Amino acid sequence: MPNVMAVLEQRNGTVKRVSHEVLAAARSLADHIGGEVHGLVIGPKGVNTEGLGGAGADKVLACLADDLELYQADRFTHVVAEQATTGAYSTIVLGATALGKDLGPRIAARLGCTLASDVTSISGRDGVVVTRPVYAGKAVYKLKIATEPSVISVRANAFDPVSASRTASLEEVAEADGGKGRWARTVKVKEPEHAALDVAEASVVVSGGRGLKEAENFRLIDDLAEALGAAVGASRAVVDAGWRPHSEQVGQTGKTVSPNLYVAVGISGAIQHLAGMRTAKIIVAINRDPDAPIFKVADYGVVGDLFEIVPKLTEEIKKIREG
Amino acid sequence: MKIAVCIKRVPDSETRIKIGTDGKSIDESGVKFVLNPFDEYAVEEALKLKEHTNGDVVAISLGPESSQETIRSALAMGADRGVLLKCDSIPLDPLPTARALAAELEQGAYDIVFFGKLAIDNYDQAVGTMVAELLGIPSVSAITRLEVTDQSATVEREIEGAVEVVEFSLPAVVTAEKGLNEPRYPALRGIMLAKKKPLDVKDVDLSKGGLEVLELSLPSERKAGRIVGEGPEAVPALVDALQNEAKVL
Ligand SMILES: Cc1cc2nc3c(=O)[nH]c(=O)nc-3n(C[C@H](O)[C@H](O)[C@H](O)COP(=O)(O)OP(=O)(O)OC[C@H]3O[C@@H](n4cnc5c(N)ncnc54)[C@H](O)[C@@H]3O)c2cc1C
Ligand SMILES: Nc1ncnc2c1ncn2[C@@H]1O[C@H](COP(=O)(O)O)[C@@H](O)[C@H]1O
């Protein structure tokens, strides 16, 4: 019976939300082909693996060692490839995260198999069929995966986590010889002074553009984001102007986001910006130009001066949150 | 230092996509092709390293005959010579491409090979990392900072909400993220010189890979939205819609 492997990510000892989405994607595939889902966690000792059964795993494979706290590309590849081979998995599913986008291609190359990256749907009915947006989201491929095994990475927020009353068995697996001591080593992770929610992971994003006129005015965006519990995003224009860091840029040469709510403030909606956010569930645009292209994709628009509208909006949101 | 940079010819980022009559590919008529934007960062970083180390930069592209123009753009920026691995069509599965590039790179004994993070046509973000794996050398993807000292290097890459610092020895592969540098514009002199720089053309045969295209289509249009109003007076209506209609608050 072919099983599906879900590669799960942890940060600071907790399995990430995106990994629950990976489990959900793996689960739907496994249910179609009648196999099991095995979640593989690589990380430091003491990672909390509780609840992964309910999220879709039949079994959890845990490869834990204290020096696996940070992402060590070569060692992780070695562990996944080793497990993938011994377990004869038909499909290996990862999240299309910073880690997954690096690890996925390595595993595919190591196994000599097909890779479908950043997919937004998977079906197992007639073989494995995936959809993936290409050309900056301006077109979508429907692809049949014709070979086995294969590696698939899934876009964040494209799959809803499941919850079932399943408990997963836990099996500790050892890191096989051969992966250690070579090649690249991640020596540290630099956390920013003020830990901020990442646009790629947030369920609400508030982004600002050149309409804010100067860097200091981004305070308006910060305030609105705080009221909404949102991450702050930016257009390329303001990143290139040095107002905001590249890590906040949304779009073709920035991050792709699919939050439940995306608020675009003083952003015109250039095609390259839309590339990064057009799959958001709800889009709100605030812009003084009624003809700005952002209004073509927005669910709700307010035309006018952002300097008047945004503070009012922040105030109203705060009222709701507090009331 | 021997430096290589792999570059791809892709439709310009402004391109309006039309689906071809086969329903499985884009209609290329009228499409303007450019050097992949992320590959501009790769070329720039290769050139900076060359200037630093008195090195030599070869630009390699796999694609149709017309990819020669793309290679010439890299030569105009300052690369020394080009190699075109010529094939009629590039399969969607990134592995055959990675294999062909790895086979070419293997012969060159390069100290470092630059790629873009991502090609803006197929959005795989895979080829560079795959090539490193096939060659059995270290690689780091999506770097925003590179420091090379002799036979080793330190790089930074952005992850969700933080930055990873990675060390490795050469030879190695890195893939370039926006923010790594500011690509230079080719000067007129560079463009003239580029015409005379050597460009090898080699035919390659690619396997078709494991992805079969069933369909290429335009994304479903977003449902038409509405303007809830003008100015700050519209805010209550907006909040109401978000709360009661969209239910996202
Ligand atoms: C290869 C390539 C890749 C790119 N990648 C990206 C990318 O990843 N992300 C990205 O965002 N862009 C990208 N761009 C750039 C893109 O083409 C646009 O230039 C950019 O998105 C514009 O940013 P903006 O909307 O902030 O600025 P502008 O286009 O200048 O828009 C500012 C908007 O603010 C409005 N405004 C001004 N004042 C006010 C006010 N007081 N109140 C309300 N509204 C106001 C204006 O009406 C206008 O619509 C890329 C371009 C290229 C060529
Ligand atoms: N056909 C190709 N020829 C040369 N380099 C390529 C080709 N395809 C991809 N690359 C390189 O690999 C990077 C990542 O591409 P991709 O994995 O397709 O997103 C690109 O930025 C290029 O540097």
Q: What tens digit of pLDDT does each residue of B198-236 get?
A: 999 999 999 999 999 999 999 988 888 999 999 999 999
Tell me the pLDDT tens digit for each residue of B18-47: 999 999 999 999 999 999 999 999 999 999
User: Residue B89 and residue B63: Cα distance in Å, rounded?
Assistant: 7
Partner B contacted by A242 (CB < 8 A): no
Q: DSSP strand E in chain A: where?
A: 4-8, 10-11, 14-15, 37-43, 59-64, 91-95, 114-119, 121-123, 128-134, 139-145, 150-154, 169-172, 185-190, 204-208, 231-234, 261-265, 282-287, 300-303
The answer, yes or no, to whether residue A23 has pLDDT greater than 80, is yes
Confidence at residue A180, expressed as pLDDT on a 0 to 100 scale:
54
Classified as helix, coil or strand, A63 is strand
Tell me the pLDDT tens digit for each residue of A240-272: 999 999 999 999 999 999 999 999 999 999 999
Classified as helix, coil or strand, A219 is helix
At residue A179 the predicted structure's pLDDT band, cuts being 50, 70 and 90, is: low
Tell me the pLDDT tens digit for each residue of A26-57: 999 999 989 999 999 999 999 999 999 999 99
Confidence at residue A127, expressed as pLDDT on a 0 to 100 scale:
87
**CB of B122 closer than 6 angstroms to any ligand 2 atom:** yes
Question: From the alpha carbon of B62, which atom of ligand 2 is closest?
Answer: 3
* From B98, B141, B179, residue closest to A101, measured CB to CB: B141
Taking the whole predicted model, whether its pTM rises above 0.90 is answered as yes
Q: In this complex, do B222 and A290 lie within 8 Å of one another by their Cβ atoms?
A: no
Average pLDDT, chain A: 95
Q: What torsion do the CA atoms of B29, B35, B37, B38 make, to the nearest 10 degrees? A: 130
User: Residue A260 and residue A242: Cα distance in Å, rounded?
Assistant: 28
> What interface predicted TM-score (ipTM) does this complex get?
0.95
Query: Among residues B145, B1, B130, which one has the least CA distance to residue B62?
Result: B130
Tell me the pLDDT tens digit for each residue of A120-178: 999 988 889 999 999 999 999 999 999 999 999 999 989 999 998 999 999 999 997 76
Partner B contacted by A133 (CB < 8 A): yes
As a whole number, mean pLDDT of residues A181-202 equals 87
Instruction: Name the residue type at position B175.
Output: T
The answer, yes or no, to whether residue A186 has pLDDT greater than 70, is yes
How big is the A-B interface in CB pairs under 8 Å?
267
The answer, yes or no, to whether residue B182 has pLDDT greater than 80, is yes
The answer, yes or no, to whether residue A181 has pLDDT greater than 70, is no
